[in-house]
């Protein structure tokens, strides 16, 4: 079995070492390196070529979000999963726009973190349920939409706009979805994982993945985060 190589980037030494110790107990993972700032992270990426970087945002010098592009340029194909204390939706928005493949809070359970890592490496975008709720709420007009999300908004919706009347929305894409795909999209908007969606709909997880692929293709989206925003702007979920 090929081990998944991880780089842990966090300026809090105790947290960083504790996380490394816990992840190293999972036989699927190998700790390729550790770093306390973006400069050190860049050197580790270039030297050790990890598959995925667990990246804190509030680092000394350069913020984690501001180093994402540099890390990805140094190692094309690398995945970056934010792991931070920040529950600020603007930090979430900035991370997604910068190219982060996921955004998790440090309160995440270890078992869930392991699964999120695998999901990201499988090409999915993952967000802590708490942050997905904030993102969806913002696009429903119940809170100011983060300005950093200006380039990620689904067609027909602008950041900060008041929600349009349902009849005025462009729902042509929704018409392409089957009833089951609409069910899956609604649960995506609630922040549910594929595993949880499968449980709720009493279908196989592989079937959920197929539905998600069809939803993204039909709606011309590139990630489940965009799908959640799309659904929220149309008052699904």
| pLDDT tens digits, one per residue of 204-233 | 989 998 999 999 999 988 777 778 778 877
**Over 70: is that where the pLDDT of 53 sits?**
yes
Q: How confident is the model at residue 146 (pLDDT cuts 50, 70, 90)?
A: low
Note whether 166 and 236 are within 8 A (CB). Answer: no
| Separation of alpha carbons 111 and 2, rounded Å | 20
Please identify which residue in the block is written with the tokens 């979000």.
65
Q: What is the CATH number of domain 142-233?
A: 1.10.10.10
Please tell us whether the domain made up of 4-127 is placed in CATH 3.40.50.2300: yes
pLDDT tier at 201, thresholds 50, 70, 90: very high
3-state class of 42 per DSSP?
Answer: helix
Domain 4-127 and domain 142-233 have a common topology: no
> For the chain, what are the domain ranges?
4-127, 142-233
pLDDT band at residue 63 using 50, 70 and 90 as cut-offs: very high
């Amino acid at each position: 079995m090929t081990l998944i190589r991880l780089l842990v980037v966090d300026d809090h030494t105790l947290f960083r070492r504790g996380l490394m110790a816990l992840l190293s107990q999972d036989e699927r993972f190998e700790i390729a390196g550790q770093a306390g700032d973006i400069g050190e992270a860049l050197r580790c990426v270039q030297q050790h070529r990890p598959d995925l970087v667990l990246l804190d945002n509030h680092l000394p010098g350069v913020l984690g979000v501001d180093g994402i592009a540099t890390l990805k340029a140094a190692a094309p194909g690398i995945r970056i999963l934010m792991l931070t204390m920040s529950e600020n939706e603007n930090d979430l928005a900035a991370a997604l726009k910068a190219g982060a493949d996921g955004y998790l809070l440090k309160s995440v359970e270890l078992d869930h973190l392991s699964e999120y890592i695998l999901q990201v490496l499988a090409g999915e975008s993952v967000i802590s349920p708490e942050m997905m709720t904030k993102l969806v709420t913002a696009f429903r007009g119940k809170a100011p939409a983060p300005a950093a999300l200006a380039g990620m908004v689904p067609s027909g919706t602008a950041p900060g706009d008041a929600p349009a009347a349902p009849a005025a929305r462009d729902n042509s894409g929704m018409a392409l979805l089957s009833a089951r795909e609409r069910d899956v999209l609604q649960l995506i908007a609630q922040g549910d994982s594929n595993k949880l969606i499968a449980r709720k709909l009493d279908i196989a997880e592989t079937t959920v993945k197929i539905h998600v692929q069809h939803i993204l293709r039909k709606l011309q989206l590139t990630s489940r985060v965009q799908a959640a925003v799309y659904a929220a702007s149309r008052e699904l979920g």
